[in-house]
Homo-oligomer: A and B are copies of this chain.
Amino acid sequence: MSEPRKEVTIYDIAEKLNISATTVSRGLQDHPKINDKTKKKILAVAAEMGYRSNPFASSLRTKRGNIIGVIVPRLNSYFMSDVIAGIEKVINESNYNLFISQSLESMKKEISNARAMFNNRVDGLLVSLAYNTDNLDHFEPFITKNIPVIFFDRVQEHLQFPNIFIDNYKAAYQLTSHLIEQSCKRILHIGGSQLRNVYIERYNGYKRALEDHNLPFDDELLIISDLTTQGGQDAGSTILNMEIKPDAVFAANDISAVGCMQFLMDAGMRVPEDIAFAGFNNDPMSSVVRPQLTTIDYKGFEMGEVAAKLLLGHLTDNADLKQTHSLILRSEMIVRDSSKRKG
């Protein structure tokens, strides 16, 4: 295999044109004060010589690597991959690059990922927290260096870090109220980690809706789960063994809702007649399952776009955007057959 030829530098271009490297550098960056003619010549020669800029040198000089870090709990969930797709779309149109890593729902990994991002000198960071993260100390170094960190979806309140999320409380309230309107009186909730805002809020919204409609709540009606298919099935099994069964289930995500629902249907229960169902996220499987699942349309792609744009705003000192501390995105209830007991 032949050795790669030496890289062309701005000095090579400068030499060929009998001008200074500075001018070449400026020409390449479309600096306003450079003569259009020289600019064109520079570009032409650069192309001809196969020049490509050296981002390492540039970064060393400017102290900016033009990279944005992303830390998410998992990459392989429909919702998250949709968020990442949204982020990528926005970032791809900018001059930044994306470093992506996953915490695998472990705070320990999240800490090590954050450190890696910090050491790699990302210019900004987008984070969705792991299941069990209970403090934000590992993001302190970013504050020291004025590196913007933005949390999305799985957020935690912090003075320095903007948050982007949807109104989980309201959505859960809405969903639960809807179930109540379908004359459900005993609604069970399959909830996620009560460390995470999203699951706390969904639980709170659910509970408040019960209260507001004078429905009783007892401990048997709350099942904390890992929200996997298996988790949903386990919940189904628990329900099957209950003396007094719930007449509705509101699960904190679609996957566990579907797992639970199909488990109970396989056991002979009818949905929604015996037991109505509602999930959360509008995962594709919610419209594949029969009866189709009532859920909350939670646009991951849009959330990714918004998060990325907000971060870019911070990086370009956009005054308006820097004002934003919390951004609450719209979400929408989608009523499907799994909860329609009338009409």
Q: What is A's interface to B at a CB cutoff of 8 Å?
A: 1, 4-5, 52-57, 59-60, 63, 65, 74-78, 80-82, 84-85, 88-89, 92, 97-102, 113, 116, 118-121, 144-146, 229, 255, 258, 262, 284-285, 288-290, 300-301
Contacts and interface: CB of A to CB of B under 8 A. Distances in A.
A146 B288 contact: no
B76 A85 contact: yes
A294 to B, nearest CB: 16
A121 B55 CA distance: 8
Contacts of A4: 144-146
Contact of A100 (B57, B74, B100, B289): B100
Given A85-B76, A289-B289, A301-B76, A54 B101 contact: no
Q: Top 5 closest A-B pairs, CB basis?
A: A81-B81, A56-B59, A76-B85, A56-B60, A75-B85
A248 to B, nearest CB: 20
Nearest to A86: B76
Chain B CB within 10 Å, residue with most, of A77, A80, A92, A116:
A92
A75 B81 contact: yes
19 contacts: A52-B119, A53-B119, A54-B60, A55-B121, A56-B59, A56-B60, A57-B60, A59-B59, A60-B60, A75-B84, A76-B78, A76-B81, A76-B85, A77-B81, A80-B81, A88-B100, A92-B113, A100-B100, A284-B285
Given A100-B98, A121-B55, A285-B285, A74 B85 contact: yes
Contact of A285 (B88, B101, B288): B288
A59 B5 CA distance: 18
A56 to B, nearest CB: 4
Contacts of A65: 55-56
Contact of A88 (B101, B229, B289): B101
A285 B145 CA distance: 45
B78 A84 contact: no
B55 A119 contact: yes
Contacts of A97: 99, 116, 120
A301 B77 CA distance: 12
A290 B113 CA distance: 40
Contacts of A60: 54, 56-57, 60
A165 to B, nearest CB: 19
Q: Tell me which of A53, A77, A284 has the highest count of chain B C-beta atoms within 10 A of its own C-beta.
A: A284
A293 to B, nearest CB: 10
Contact of A121 (B56, B75, B98): B56
A244 to B, nearest CB: 29
A36 to B, nearest CB: 24
